Structures are given as C-alpha cells and as structure tokens.
Amino acid sequence: MKNLEDIMAMAQNVQAELTKAQAGLDQIEVEGAAGGGLVKVKASAKGRIIGVDIDESLLAASEKQMLEDLIVAAFNDAKAKADAASNAEMSKMTSGLPLPPGFKLPF
C-alpha cells in the first residue's frame, strides 16, 4: 500500500503548510478607507482589526450619522482587502495540489 502511504504523507504536508500559511496571514496588513480617507481601518489578512483612524473634522455631533456610515464602509473595505490577501496567500500554497475547481482551504 505504498500509494496510500504517499497520500497520507502528502495530506500531512498539506496540513503543515496550511497551518504555516494561516499563521502568516496575521502578519499581512491591509487598510480599508472611506470618505476619501477620512476614516481608515487597518486589519490583518486574517481579519483581526488592528486600528481605526478618524479625521478630526468628523468628530462634530452633527456628523454622527455620516461618521457611523463611514466607519461601517471602512470596515467593509478592510474586510474585502483582508479576504483578497488571504485568498492570494492560500492560492499560493495550494497551487501545486490537484484540487477540484472551486475547492477551498481551509475547509
């Protein structure tokens, strides 16, 4: 059963590479922005929020609703960029594997 042993060894290698890639995602930083850069959100590619920067011009009480909307937009922009960075890193790792189309890691 040499073939089964090869498959098991390959699965262990994939698991080790996946663990390493997941750890590396927290080191990649992306920045989402809204309102022409008035609100910025910095996140890791793993989705961890690192920081928020809000321009002082938005701190007036009359700007509350707009500020809330811009914060949501900046978070969503950061999340989209984090997902893109994560997908790019994971596709590097899986590029040599014979996976079916649409198959995504981690499961």
> Hey, what are 84's tokens?
């893109």
Nearest partner of 94 among 27, 30, 28, 21, judged by Cα: 21
Q: Which residue has the tokens 């321009």?
A: 55
Distance CA 19, CA 89 (A): 12
pLDDT at position 94 is 65
pTM across the whole model: 0.68
Edge-first strand order for the sheet with 49-54 is 29-34, 39-44, 49-54
* Per-residue confidence band for 26, with pLDDT thresholds at 50, 70 and 90: confident
Q: Write down all domains in the chain, each with its CATH number in brackets.
A: 2-94 (3.30.1310.10)
Is residue 6 pLDDT above 60, yes or no?
A: yes
What's the mean per-residue pLDDT of the chain? Answer: 84
Nearest partner of 49 among 7, 81, 19, 13, judged by Cα: 81
pLDDT at position 102 is 59
